[in-house]
Amino acid sequence: MKYPKFIGKFHVRNCSFKNILKMLTNRNIKGAFGYKYGGDEVEDIENIKKKKFEELMKRIKERELKAKYPSKPIYSDADNFYDIINRYEFVIVDFYADWCYPCHMLSPIIEDLAKEYAGKVVFVKVNVDENQPLALKYNIMGVPTLVFLKNGREIDRVVGYAPKDYLKMKIERYIY
């Protein structure tokens, strides 16, 4: 026979009278009365605390990750290019030239996207006139060219000027 949850002023889990007496005689108050002050409510509070702590830790990790990722494009040359693409998981390389008008049109879009996707994507700008070996390695035939790299490997590219919405669509395809 099961007894009700409340006996006297103590909260008791559903169990037989024999088990209640056994727990009381063994002075196992925790087992007899659920938890320190009363069973399921305290366990629910502990679960809520645990979830809140996990959410807080997740937010802290995201902030730390954003702090490590730059919010502006990085200007690179052959000396530090490979360090950058190996350090970050998702990198978009903008191969540009100073004399290129579409490159100048794309530059503010790249800066806006770098701010918007800080913590998720790193934008790198490489001048093809000053870094011809990199341009040859990535087979750059026209500027501007955006090369999407994930874990150091090319996954996509956009040649020529592209509007911000199109670039956002491309980026979100590979982030999520």
pLDDT tens sequence across 26-56: 544 444 444 444 556 667 888 888 888 888 8
Catalytic residue among 93, 103, 106, 124: 103
Q: Does residue 139 sit in the same domain as residue 165?
A: yes
Catalytic residue check, 103: yes
pLDDT tens sequence across 4-33: 544 444 555 555 656 665 665 554 444 444
Give the count of domains, the chain. Answer: 2
Catalytic residue among 100, 114, 140, 149: 100
How much is the pLDDT for 49?
Answer: 85
How much is the pLDDT for 35?
Answer: 46
**Residue type at position 20:** I
Catalytic residue check, 100: yes
- B/e letters for 51-71, b = 16+ CB within 10 Å, e = fewer, are eeeeeeeeeeeeeeeeeebbe
Whole domain around residue 124: which residue ranges?
70-175
Q: Write down which residue in 47, 66, 85 finishes a domain.
A: 66
How much is the pLDDT for 19?
Answer: 64
- Residue 101's CATH number: 3.40.30.10
Burial class (CB in 10 A: 0-12, 13-18, 19+), 99: exposed
Q: Does residue 167 sit in the same domain as residue 80?
A: yes
For the chain, the maximum distance between any two Cα atoms, rounded to a whole number of angstroms, is: 90
* pTM for this predicted structure: 0.64
**Residue type at position 45:** I
pLDDT tens sequence across 70-124: 889 999 999 999 999 988 899 999 999 999 999 999 999 999 999 999 889 999 9
pLDDT tens sequence across 119-163: 899 999 999 999 999 999 999 999 999 999 999 999 999 999 999
